[in-house]
Amino acid sequence: MLFSAIANYFDDQKVSLNNLPYKKLIVGFSLCNFVFERYVSYRQYRLLQDKTKKLPKILEGKVDSKKFEDSNSYGLAKSKFEMFSSTYTLLTSVALLIFQPTVWNYSSFFADKLVNLVFKKEFASTIILSNVSFFIFRNLISGILSAPVSYYQHFVLEEKFGFNKMTKKLFFTDLIKLNLLTCSLASPFICLLGWIFKKCTDNFIFYIWMCVLFIQISMFILNDLVIQPLFYKFTPLENNELKDKINALAKECGFPLSDIFMIDGSKRSSHSNAYFSGLPFMKKKIVIFDTLIKDSTVDEVVAVLGHEIGHWKMNHISQMMFFSQIHLSIFFRLFKLVYKNNDLYGDLGFNINEAASKSESILTSSNIAVVNDYPFVVGLIIFSYLIQPTDTAMNFIWNQFSRHNEYEADKFATDLGEGENLKNALLSLQSTNLSTISVDSLFSKYHYSHPTLSERLTAIDKHERFFAKKEK
């Protein structure tokens, strides 16, 4: 693994990570990543602008010229928007990085004032509480900065192509809910991480990995019980024909189905989807967007769910969790190399001074924060910037793995005899969602976790021919 090789190199060579220009490295990595992504996006933009491009042969007679043109127009509009939004994101993220000490100072200042007000006495907050308040303050600033871009995406871009169904009231309500939810769920996990960083010094990586695994499992459960119901209305599926066919499919595949729900996705967008939820050792719940039921036939919906059940049957969810744990364990192994590096924090404006008094760490007019312990949330943010080059490389690998899984799930659905229905469903989804048909190869490998429509139809056709020949 790339991360593991890097970690072993630093361990074996005893390479010093002190006195490095961390701020310059981070800005440099961010700019290089930005330039690379703009190059990838430009290739896609240039392809979409090409007036001579033709519909892939496999889609001839299946996608009409009007839909092809609409798909290209939507893709072009998204490409233009992405060029602007990515530039804006780069500027705001670098600004937040540079002014992190100021954010830390103000967040600590207001956290102290709030705690003193609640307990009605002077109270010096701990480093863990300071990290929690910093995360909340930074998340609030980030949410405010990103809101205009999100607003434009929904009410201008998506509205133009008829996808946005969200009201302005719902948009801002969702925004408030999302930020409150993020802060309330993240705060106890940050406290737990802080306790581990402080107490578990001998088996640092193991305990952090166990903590993150616990967080992931908790989020799986909370997503079903708390998060999704806050944003969508779940209604037991009333279409008896569809329900009977789904139950029959689940029984045929040995899928541990507990419930089938329809959600009101149309309240926010006309895009459609379906998925199942539940940990590998739990009963599963199938969730279908009302837009998918509206725009597809019963057999097409069943075929889509056959594909989803294929992911379960082929253990794709478990595989992704397994590789995710490897990735995280290596991430924290690398993080351990710089976690207590004073130069790393110092170059970004954090002066680690164990003898510092509380008053020194809340100089709100200064862009230097004097703290008496290592601000681990700040360290994680800084480190995530430092490993951008490896993240970019891993993105290609992860997408390739995901695309392989999608092909396998399509093959599983085809083996169930749902090949034709699945192809019709994919074509219907393309028509409804205006999925991009003309896709540059590099853009697809970097951004797409799923194969393109023409790639999937070609693979299904190939497997159907092989299956038919095998039966003869």
Residue 193, pLDDT > 90, answer: no
Q: Rounded to whole angstroms, how far apart are CA atoms 268 and 230?
A: 13
Which pLDDT band, with edges at 50, 70 and 90, does 117 fall under? confident
Q: What is the mean pLDDT of residues 195-204?
A: 76
Q: Does position 361 have pLDDT exceeding 60, yes or no?
A: no
Q: What CATH number should be reported for the domain whose range is 235-309?
A: 3.30.2010.10
Does the pLDDT value for residue 23 go beyond 60?
Answer: yes
Mean pLDDT of 327-342: 83
From the candidates 295, 300, 373, 410, give the one annotated as an active-site residue: 410
State the average pLDDT over residues 234-254. Answer: 91
Helix (H) or strand (E) holding 239: none
Q: How far apart, in Å, are the Cα atoms of 208 and each of 323, 328, 333?
A: 16, 9, 10
- Confidence at residue 11, expressed as pLDDT on a 0 to 100 scale: 52
Average of pLDDT values for 309-329? 86
**Tell me: the pLDDT tens digits for 78-116?**
999 999 999 999 999 999 998 999 999 888 888 878 777
**343 carries an active-site annotation:** no
Confidence at residue 151, expressed as pLDDT on a 0 to 100 scale:
95
- 410 flagged as catalytic: yes
Residue 359: the pLDDT is 44
Strands 274-277 and 257-263: unpaired
Pairing of strands 350-352, 274-277: unpaired
Model pLDDT for residues 145-157, shown as the tens digit of each residue: 999 999 999 999 9
What would you report as the CA-atom Rg of the chain, rounded to the nearest whole angstrom? 25
Judge whether residue 423 has pLDDT over 90: yes
- Report the share of the chain in percent with pLDDT over 90: 39
Pick the catalytic residue: 112, 158, 300, 308?
A: 308
pLDDT the model gives residue 452: 92
Q: 285-298 pLDDT, tens per residue?
A: 889 898 888 888 99
pLDDT at site 304: 92
∠ at Cα 28 (23, 30), nearest 5°?
100
pLDDT at residue 124, rounded to an integer: 60
**441: number of Cβ within 10 Å:** 11
Higher pLDDT, 60 or 202: 60
Q: Residue 437 is encoded by which pair of tokens?
A: 């048909």
Higher-confidence residue: 115 or 64? Answer: 64
Average pLDDT over residues 147-170: 93
The domain spans of the chain are 20-234+310-471, 235-309
Least confident of 90-99, 356-365, 397-406: 356-365
C-alpha 302/C-alpha 287 separation (Å) is 12
Instruction: Give me the chain's average pLDDT, please.
Output: 86
How much is the pLDDT for 471? 61
- Report the pLDDT averaged over residues 237-247: 91
Would you say 171 and 139 are in contact if contact means Cβ atoms under 8 Å apart? no
Instruction: Check residue 355 and give its pLDDT.
Output: 66
Minimum mean pLDDT range among 4-13, 62-71, 221-230, 233-242 = 4-13
Q: Given pLDDT bands bounded at 50, 70 and 90, which one contains residue 453?
A: very high
Q: What's the CA gap between 429 and 165, in Å, rounded?
A: 18
Give the CA-trace dihedral at 155, 156, 159, 165, to 10 degrees. -10
Across residues 200-220, what is the average pLDDT? Answer: 80
According to the per-residue pLDDT averaged within each range, which of 105-109, 163-167, 355-359, 360-364 is highest?
163-167
Say yes or no to pLDDT of 7 above 70: no
What is the mean predicted confidence (pLDDT) over 8-26?
Answer: 67
In this prediction, residue 472 carries a pLDDT of 56
Is it the case that residue 198 has pLDDT exceeding 60? yes
pLDDT at 368: 84
Residue 54: predicted pLDDT: 87
Cα distance from N-terminal residue to C-terminal residue, the chain: 44
Q: Which is higher by pLDDT, 117 or 170?
A: 170
